[in-house]
Structure 1
Amino acid sequence: MVALAGQARAGVSAGAAVGSVRETSLVGGPAPYTFQPGARAVTGAATTSDARRLDAGATYRDSIRPGDRLTYRVDLDATSDAYVSAVAVPPATSEVAYGDRIKVSLQNRQGNDCSSNDARFGASARFPRPLAAYAYRTIEKGAYACQEAGPYFVVVERVSDDATTATPWDLEIRHVREPAVTAPGGPTTAPSVWPSASPVPAEEGPRARAGGAGFYDAEGLTRGEWTARIEPGASLFYRVPVDWGQQLFVSADLGSSPGTGFVSGALAMSLYNPARGLVGDSGSVSYDGRQKTTALDPLPPVAYENRFGSRSGAKEMRFAGWYYLRVSLNPEVGRTFGAKPYGLTLRVNVEGAAKSGPRYAGPAGDFAVDEGKRDEAAGGPGGAADSGTMALVAAAGIGTGTLLVLWLGAWTLLARRRAARMPAGR
């Protein structure tokens, strides 16, 4: 057992070293956006006749210049819903303006929009950071347009202000399908009211969670208080599992700093649903060196019928799964108060008991919460491996040698999983 205790100390030291490397890497500047490994290269066409097909379940990479209107093709059936998202990633050194936006539309063969959405920097936080928007085709009883099977076209547009840097923005494009519901007949009207009072804060103390650099490596969060260090110009990504019937509340605090000055639009926080559709943004935060806080507006509990509403944001709470947070710090904060990491605190509450969701005709995929997602959110990077390691420690009646071998194997697996999730240079 002496050897086991020594291994435990070595494991803790190794974990601390990983955290130290990550914190130290922040000093060299913010990490670049982490794209999905293995994403397929694709070139958007100028016309529908030349559009390349996007396969369901696949992720693609492209780039877009000011004024570009890129077209892609998707082949849809007549039963399932389809979602196509685009994440636009401006260079960290580029200039952006109020009118800059990325727009995604899904059109039928008549050139009519099935839906379209956009995301923009806005007046209060004009600094480069990843933006995401999606468009979709949904099968609805009584609807006529966009209900048939066949080819549809995805159009991604970059609308730019004259003051914008004319450099390309990278794109990460993703096409996912939501299975048909086998037993329709549930509510077809979205709720108009829902709880809006801030829930009681979690009693647990703050826990560290560094955050990822993209949707792919976003770190899981559960109910509680989470701390990180954020570099000026950086964007941190997190994800929270929210099941059917549950309601999500999130606030973000930017810690105080020595110095004097004033930065408008210092901190920007956005929430995205499992299909990477923009749910909403928090209020603008101006920074004068004193601690500041912002929060997302209260959103309805996750429900299938939310999609039938007309209220922006509320209708995006339409399925269970990972809900993504992107928190970005204005680079002007570094120029005014110093180029250093700043304290960030996220307070997350997931209220309500999980309920049964719709009966899908196939695997729910992204649109479900299972034990694996809950374990990952609770344990962070390699959460399931962390839980498994603790279970090994608690195991009784296992020989010391066997337990030691299992312990080493678990730590090796955990290290590999963390390395796989941590992009190079971070």
Structure 2
Amino acid sequence: MIRRFAALATVPALTFAFSFANAPAAAAEGELSPVMVVLDSSGSMTARDAGGSGTRMDAAKRAVGSMVDGLPAQAQVGLEIYGAGTGSSGAEKAAGCRDVRVVQPVRTVDKAALKRAVNATKASGYTPIGQALRTAAAQLPKEGQRSVVLVSDGEDTCAPPQPCEVAKELHQQGVDLHVHAIGFRVDAKARAQLACIAQNTGGTYHDATDADSLLGILGRVTEKALRHYEPIGKPVIGTADPFTAPTLVPGQYLDTIDPVEERFYAADLKAGETAYFAATAIFPRGNPRDIEVLDIRITGPGGADCYRSERNLFTLAKDGGSLTSVLTWTGLTAGSQKTKACSVPGKYVFRVTRDADQRGTDRVPLEMQLRVEPPVTGSLGEQAQQNLVDFAQQPSGAVKPVRAGGSFNEATTLDGSGRYGETIYYGEELFYRVKLDWGQGLAYRVTFGGVPKGPTANIRTALFSPVRADIKSDTTAYTGNTQILPSNGKAIATARTAYLNRNAAEPTIRKSSVDGWYYVVAKLGSSIGGNGDSPTGVPVTIDVAVVGEKVAGPEYGAAGDVASTPTPTPTASSSTPSGSNTDAAGKGDAIPATDDSSSALPWIIGGVVLVLAVAAVGAVLAVRRRKPPSPPTYPNAGPGWPNQP
């Protein structure tokens, strides 16, 4: 459940004359790959966990147990341990270096049995990592993608074979095996060894400094088993000091953030521009805390307080998923009532804070978008709307099968009015998108079908605007019986999109002031009470109505054209958007805001297109890697712009 603490401010103005062509929707469905979990049970795991209430082994058991809880019922998972069968004396070394035991073969996961095996493990002996890797590889199928998740608190104490050489062997044999290594409070030498294993098998390496971070990392590693939020963006590191914040050009960025941490990012804004700054934090299933808060605050040139913030709360963060906050700044637009110090061109700084209900050390990905819109210098388009749209009649007919994406970036397109359906699995958050032109509105509802004796879980749906502002959401419990959201029987809906809607008092109408892709999200949480997840998932149907005919929108000019901004009197002009701003775009190398890649909105997007998936998020169970969104084209742009001849 996400609750909004601060309403969006009035938003006057949008961008200019470059629109995105269609980007691909979600990646194709893939099967789940088999996984062998390899757990260090050597004597060093009996050391106390820093900041914890037990040993490192206790922390590892809790983390693996939480990981098991988050696995889909159809996952193929096994467990291997080393170091638990001997002591660590010199006389026991020969036996200890052969001490690798498969306690659970790779098969359809039996969560209870796997957790019992983990909990029965005692740490005592040596660390034969190289031999453990060979054993794990032999246990996995001979074809297809396979994965090993290795948790170790130190380096190999039994070489030969050297672990990194074993990794190279497997790679040279053409074995499609990826080792994802997690170093639990390791020193530099052990870290280098584990990272070498991961690098030579196409896997990932992660540092875990305590029990909380180990739990969070294991959750993110196993998250690849289901469709998940794969963040993308140009890497950026926000600072702890607003005066040294990195300056962003419009586009999409990627950072990470700790609980109770401030990150600062800057943007140079010109007279007449409106800025939209969106931050999306992505949490793993099994997140260590239930309540997460994402707060954005803005300051003006010289650090002036602009007295504007946006704060959203996530109360079911242990289920995993995403939390988005959006701050819209209109202080430089004509007629703005903002403070004088925050109404002048210059450097504006956005502070992003992640406030959790308890402290921790787990970092999560932070995906950010900066969008900038110059003033309207011609027609403002239609009058503001007074009402939300609704279904003209009850949807009927065949349900069109779809396959949703796991993020804003990979949302699957729903082609206008109709009925769409698929299966959602426990722990999944699915994203769809619907295109709205000026003058069109959206109404929808989601039906979670009945599953006899299905586990109890939380379900949720939410609607987001093209700038990722959450328009409306609804949450309730699912007990295996058919459940419709919203539960009040009314559709979740927008008004017909109109530029002047941004002046409305009603928040839902105010957020219907942008044309482009609107996002429908459906979520089925993890089962409640430990009664297991259904291996078949839950059927879900999305009924959609796109209401209204396309009309002319506002006419945009270049930044700085404040003096020529017309009096806000709407007309029915059919003129096309005009103006250009070659100074505001075409510089920097931020990734364009792909979630609105085929919007008719002419967002200012600067720079060379780079699509970078975050290696730090980890990967394990998906057979096919997702194909990154293709770079958008700019059909109205001239020579010299990105992707133009």
TM-score range normalised by the length of the shorter chain: 0.7 to 0.9
Shift of 1:107: 2.5
The answer as to whether partners of 1:267 and 1:284 remain within 8 angstroms in 2 is: yes
The answer as to whether partners of 2:277 and 2:370 remain within 8 angstroms in 1 is: yes
SS in 1 for 2:321: coil
Shift of 1:128: 1.9
Match of 1:168 in 2: 363
Shift of 1:261: 5.5
For 1:22, the aligned partner's letter is G
- Which of residues 113, 116, 119 in structure 1 aligns to 2:306? 113
1:353 equivalent to 2:549? Answer yes
Match of 1:279 in 2: 471
Match of 1:343 in 2: 539
Match of 1:70 in 2: 263
Q: For 1:8-407, what aligned pairs fall within 5 Å after superposition?
A: 21-22=29-30, 27-28=74-75, 29-36=225-232, 39-56=233-250, 58-98=251-291, 100-109=292-301, 110-113=303-306, 115-122=308-315, 127-138=319-330, 139-145=332-338, 146-162=342-358, 166-183=361-378, 191=385, 193-195=386-388, 197-221=390-414, 222-259=416-453, 262-263=456-457, 266-281=458-473, 283-295=474-486, 297-332=492-527, 335-336=530-531, 338-340=533-535, 341-361=537-557, 362=579, 366=596, 369=599
For 2:335, the aligned partner's letter is G
For 1:324, the aligned partner's letter is Y
For 2:444, the aligned partner's letter is V
Shift of 1:359: 0.8
Larger deviation, residues 79-88 vs 311-320? 311-320
The answer as to whether partners of 2:295 and 2:310 remain within 8 angstroms in 1 is: yes
Q: What is the RMSD of the two structures over their aligned residues, measured on CA atoms?
A: 3.1
The answer as to whether partners of 2:445 and 2:492 remain within 8 angstroms in 1 is: no
Shift of 1:94: 0.9
The answer as to whether partners of 1:247 and 1:302 remain within 8 angstroms in 2 is: yes
1:160-203 CA distance string (max 9 Å, x none): 112x7642121011111223211266678x54x31454332344
Larger deviation, residues 321-330 vs 361-370? 361-370
Give the direction of change, closer, same or farther, for the CA distance of 1:307–1:363 in structure 2 (3 Å limit).
Answer: farther
CA distance in 2, matches of 1:185, 1:227: 38
Give the direction of change, closer, same or farther, for the CA distance of 1:152–1:195 in structure 2 (3 Å limit).
Answer: closer
The answer as to whether partners of 1:116 and 1:136 remain within 8 angstroms in 2 is: no
For 1:87, the aligned partner's letter is T
For 2:377, the aligned partner's letter is T
CA distance in 1, matches of 2:404, 2:597: 22
SS in 2 for 1:310: coil
The answer as to whether partners of 1:30 and 1:232 remain within 8 angstroms in 2 is: no
Give the direction of change, closer, same or farther, for the CA distance of 1:141–1:197 in structure 2 (3 Å limit).
Answer: same
Larger deviation, residues 201-210 vs 41-50? 201-210
The answer as to whether partners of 1:274 and 1:367 remain within 8 angstroms in 2 is: no
Shift of 1:206: 0.5
SS in 2 for 1:201: coil
1:208-233 CA distance string (max 9 Å, x none): 11111111111111211111221211
Shift of 1:148: 2.0
Give the direction of change, closer, same or farther, for the CA distance of 1:33–1:367 in structure 2 (3 Å limit).
Answer: closer
The answer as to whether partners of 2:275 and 2:373 remain within 8 angstroms in 1 is: yes
Count of residues paired in the alignment: 348
For 1:92, the aligned partner's letter is R
Match of 1:411 in 2: none
The answer as to whether partners of 1:271 and 1:278 remain within 8 angstroms in 2 is: yes
Q: For 1:402-417, what aligned pairs fall within 5 Å after superposition?
A: none
CA distance in 2, matches of 1:368, 1:319: 13
SS in 1 for 2:492: coil
CA distance in 1, matches of 2:471, 2:307: 19
Structure 1 or 2, whichever has the larger Rg, is 2
TM-score scaled to structure 2, two decimals? Answer: 0.50
Give the direction of change, closer, same or farther, for the CA distance of 1:24–1:67 in structure 2 (3 Å limit).
Answer: closer
Shift of 1:87: 0.8
The answer as to whether partners of 2:382 and 2:498 remain within 8 angstroms in 1 is: no
Shift of 1:121: 1.7
Shift of 1:363: 6.9
Shift of 1:84: 1.1
The answer as to whether partners of 2:380 and 2:554 remain within 8 angstroms in 1 is: no
The answer as to whether partners of 2:421 and 2:541 remain within 8 angstroms in 1 is: yes
CA distance in 2, matches of 1:219, 1:183: 34
Shift of 1:331: 0.8
For 1:134, the aligned partner's letter is V
Larger deviation, residues 220-229 vs 102-111? 102-111
For 2:505, the aligned partner's letter is S
The answer as to whether partners of 2:390 and 2:443 remain within 8 angstroms in 1 is: no
Shift of 1:47: 1.4
Q: Report percent identity of matched pairs.
A: 24
Give the direction of change, closer, same or farther, for the CA distance of 1:96–1:240 in structure 2 (3 Å limit).
Answer: farther
SS in 2 for 1:307: helix
The answer as to whether partners of 2:272 and 2:334 remain within 8 angstroms in 1 is: no
SS in 1 for 2:501: helix
Give the direction of change, closer, same or farther, for the CA distance of 1:336–1:249 in structure 2 (3 Å limit).
Answer: farther
The answer as to whether partners of 1:259 and 1:337 remain within 8 angstroms in 2 is: no
